[in-house]
Amino acid sequence: MASVPIYCWPLQQQTEPPPIPAGLLPPEASSWLAAQREHPPTQPQAYLCSSVPGLVLVLPTHSTTQPLAAYVDLHALQPSDAFFRTLIHSLQAVVWEADARTFRFTYVSPQAEALLGYPLAQWLEPNFWVDHIHPDDRAQAVAFCRETSERGEDHDFTYRMLRADGRTVWVRDIVTVIPDAQGRPERLRGLLLNVTSEQETRQALEVAWQRYQDLVEHNPVATGVYHHGRVVFANAAMAHLFGAAQPEVLLGKSANELIHPHHLEAVLENLRRILERGEKISQTRGVIQRFDGSSAIVDFSGVPISWEGEPAVLFFMWDVSEQVRTAQRLAEREALYQAIFENAPEPMYVRRDRHYLLG
């Protein structure tokens, strides 16, 4: 078996070029590594070079937070070499090659059968790729691949394919364009990865986010989050309560900027009780300062939560200004009537239906 040089180095290493012989790593592989460095993967990644016989790997490790990068120099290998076959077969992805004009596969690695449940020979039939893309994704996926390939651009896209048993599989397709002697696209090489679990997780997060928007952002109750002495979240109702044009105006504001000075210490004490003791505060009354300079009487409730892994307060406010003013007016009238009855120089009576009710 031929000797195969393998060069390894930490992916986050900033030294340029990597510790391999000059000129061995093609420019497109360097660009791919730069992208991996910017967003370190959690699963092994591979890039099959198009201009030279070489394979670039990024391998997350359990012993360190830094993934390892490796370059496998395939110059010494023959297509039948057992090492090359073992390397391709061990990848958790389908390695493939296809005609750039017809998209007909000319080679797929054995993992293809497990991905869709079709025998390898069927993958090599005309139109297999196009016919097995999900109908809802087919036109867009084919058009994108054709347009970028015709421009000679490597590309990376995600779409759905249909398994033999009828189930849907999400795949990520990483494509390298191989030109002919005249520079025209001749072949496509790529890696096809099963990303179904990642897509399902993303969809679940999108559903959760929609529920969050319905429950919190669109909640008619003024809702906010207080973290490190500042407001870090506010919904539309909170913005309306303070007279802000947008919820973002409230972000970064401290209690000193939002609470009336006469009520500030009581509010800060409630916040400390929630943050430090984990208490729940239910409907305490205070006064806020609105952005137009006016004030509003509010009821405040708060509960402890975790925000970015740290203690925070989820709080709610209700504007009770009109309710308080109405109660005050009723109390004033009641006091007035009481004073009139108690201090009248002559007896006074309230009569209804020939009956004396008060005198």
Q: Which residues of the chain have pLDDT under 70?
A: 1-3, 13-18, 22-23, 50-52, 62-65, 75-91, 341, 344, 346-359
| Helix, strand, coil percent content, the chain, rounded in steps of 5 | 35, 30, 35
- Pair 154, 35: CB distance under 8 Å: no
Nearest Cα to 105, choosing from 118, 92, 86?
118
Residues whose CB is less than 8 angstroms from the CB of residue 206 and which lie 6 or more positions away in sequence, other chains included: none
Domains and CATH numbers, the chain: 1-91 (no CATH), 92-218 (3.30.450.20), 219-319 (3.30.450.20), 323-358 (no CATH)
Q: In whole angstroms, give the CA distance from residue 42 to residue 52.
A: 27
DSSP string, 252-316: T--HHHHB-HHHHHHHHHHHHHHHHH---EEEEEEEEE-TTS-EEEEEEEEEEEEETTEEEEEEE
Q: Are 186 and 100 in contact (CB under 8 A)?
A: yes
What residues have CB less than 8 Å from 268, skipping those under 6 apart? 255
Say how far apart CA 45 and CA 93 lie, in whole Å: 9
**Torsion angle of the four alpha carbons 261, 262, 264, 266, in this order, in degrees rounded to the nearest 10:** 170
| Residue range 8-58, pLDDT digits in tens | 888 775 555 567 776 677 777 787 888 888 888 877 888 877 666 778 888
The C-alpha atoms of residue 152 and residue 82 are separated, in whole angstroms, by 32
Q: pLDDT digit string (tens) for 52-89?
A: 677 888 888 765 567 888 888 776 555 555 555 555 56
The two structure tokens encoding residue 167: 């189930």
